[in-house]
Amino acid sequence: MQTTALKLKSEEAGGELIQLVSFNLEKEEYGINVLMVREIIRMLNITRVPNTPHYVEGVINLRGKVIPIISLRKKFDLMEAEYDKRTRIMVMEVVGEMMGFIVDEVSEVIRISDKEIQPPPPVVSGGIEQECMAGVINQAERLLVLLDLEKMFTADERRFFSTVS
**Contact residues for another protein, defined by CB under 8 A:** 45, 47-52, 56, 58-61, 64-68, 95-99, 153, 157, 160-161, 164-165
What's the CA gap between 78 and 72, in Å, rounded?
Answer: 8
Residue 42: enclosing H or E segment and its boundaries? strand 37-42
CB of 59 to another protein, least distance (A): 5
CB 21 within 8 A of CB 31: yes
CB of 32 to another protein, least distance (A): 18
Residue 18: enclosing H or E segment and its boundaries? strand 17-25
Strand partners, 147: 133
Which CB sits closer to another protein, 20 or 60? 60
Which CB sits closer to another protein, 86 or 158? 158
Pairing of strands 28-33, 142-147: parallel
CB of 105 to another protein, least distance (A): 25
CB of 92 to another protein, least distance (A): 12
What's the CA gap between 151 and 94, in Å, rounded?
Answer: 9
Which CB sits closer to another protein, 9 or 38? 38
Which CB sits closer to another protein, 4 or 45? 45
CB 18 within 8 A of CB 112: yes
Which CB sits closer to another protein, 2 or 61? 61
CB 92 within 8 A of CB 99: yes
CB of 66 to another protein, least distance (A): 4
